[in-house]
Structure 1
């Protein structure tokens, strides 16, 4: 199971109970011939998601405004989704804004509460192995830490702190308003879990 398609199939089979909630539903896997190279390639058919950019939705809900908490439920749903994935034995799900979709479900649904969908499990790995050799070989500890760091980077970005801004403010000791917003979110998340 060391091929790209093998890991992805494994991840989606382990995560089948989450499909339709924090994950899109996997409709099927296929081998298709690439028109460019005429080689067979692995393809997946997923349900259609009517999505919006995570950062745009959270900014509309006030993630950049001190004291505004309307974006908290979306960020907390992301944290819970990653936790549920880890509980099912999968890590390395490449947590970044491009792989997080915020959706209202069906396009016709007018629900005021968006939900989070995670996509792209090409780099995922199982988190449980029979031997420590395999755990070291697949760098499970590092990958798990990477997922946690990915969540934190997304929360920082939602509070409007690009990496450049983050580094510049810390290097020069500038005021970091976003740090307070991030800290307030994590305090709220701990109280609401």
Structure 2
């Protein structure tokens, strides 16, 4: 297939996280006054879709793989265009503890989702993690306003362009390495350790409220056989620290940190066997989860994530 998406303008967001000085309450869901800069690009800038990766209704974004062709931006093959498409946003917020009900007043520290805020947060996170681009996260190629009937209408929408990440999900790779078997295989434990280590590092680097789930953690294997975790989707990220305790409270940082840890626990349970069609029952998967923790304590007792979070996991013990 080949579907055309036109790039209309480049979007240059401020370097700070979007809550600073932003009040998204004015209809039609646009920031006013506009805190970012738009610059026109030549009308020959086109993204040609070769594969829809993550599309359809009830999604925060429509994600396509393809090729960018542009006289000003150059040609980029095998890249991903992530389009934030408000008409398809879910009716309910998956992170309701951070959001106001639809139609209610939203303050400047609101976390109500808009296309602009999601794109801005994603760009902010990529800039914050600039040294990890191309290794632990994709490489960001810019933010744009785009339009195409193929997306769902002919109105401009915010989008980010980034490198494509292949590989498989962390769940698929861990199952290949024995995470749902009872033969004592611990090869999968190293990948889960990398998962916990990297999320802890994100927190130390200043980001939290990460969308940690199977689809957003890919494993890319090298020809030599080594595995690298690559994390996707930072549109809901926020700072993990602020200058004052009052600001931390206003932006619900502690709740976001707890939320990330809960997502890690849930993903680990899935990796250990809590997957559709698996009939082993709860005790074996709980035991595998506990075995992972004991493995980490034995082999990598000095890990920062283990020192900070380890005592919280003692409740995992299986008699």
Range class of TM-score, shorter chain: 0.7 to 0.9
Query: Once structures 1 and 2 are overlaid, which stretch shifts more, 126-135 or 61-70?
Result: 126-135
Structure exhibiting the larger radius of gyration computed from Cα positions: 2
Greater share of residues in strand? 2
Normalised by the length of structure 1, the TM-score is: 0.85
Q: What's 1:184 paired with?
A: 291
Greater share of residues in helix? 1
CA pair 53-138 structure 1, distance change in 2 beyond 3 A: same
Query: Once structures 1 and 2 are overlaid, which stretch shifts more, 32-41 or 56-65?
Result: 32-41
Q: What's 1:50 paired with?
A: 166
Q: What's 2:137 paired with?
A: 23
Mapped contact 2:119–2:143 kept (Cα < 8 A) = no
Query: Once structures 1 and 2 are overlaid, which stretch shifts more, 28-37 or 72-81?
Result: 28-37
RMSD (Å), alpha carbons: 2.2
Alignment coverage as a number of residue pairs: 182
The one-character-per-residue Cα deviations of 1:23-68 (angstroms, maximum 9, x if unpaired) are: 1111222221253333322211211212212212111110011211
Write out aligned runs for 1:8-87 (5 A): 8-35=122-149, 36-66=152-182, 67-87=184-204
Q: What's 1:112 paired with?
A: 225
Residue 85 of structure 1 and its aligned partner are, at CA, apart by: 0.9
Residue 20 of structure 1 and its aligned partner are, at CA, apart by: 2.1
1:98 aligns with 2:218: no
Higher RCO (C-alpha under 8 Å, 6+ residues apart): 1
Q: Secondary structure at the match of 1:154?
A: helix
Normalised by the length of structure 2, the TM-score is: 0.53
The one-character-per-residue Cα deviations of 1:144-172 (angstroms, maximum 9, x if unpaired) are: 11111111111111110249x9xxx9xxx
Unaligned runs of 5+ in 1: none
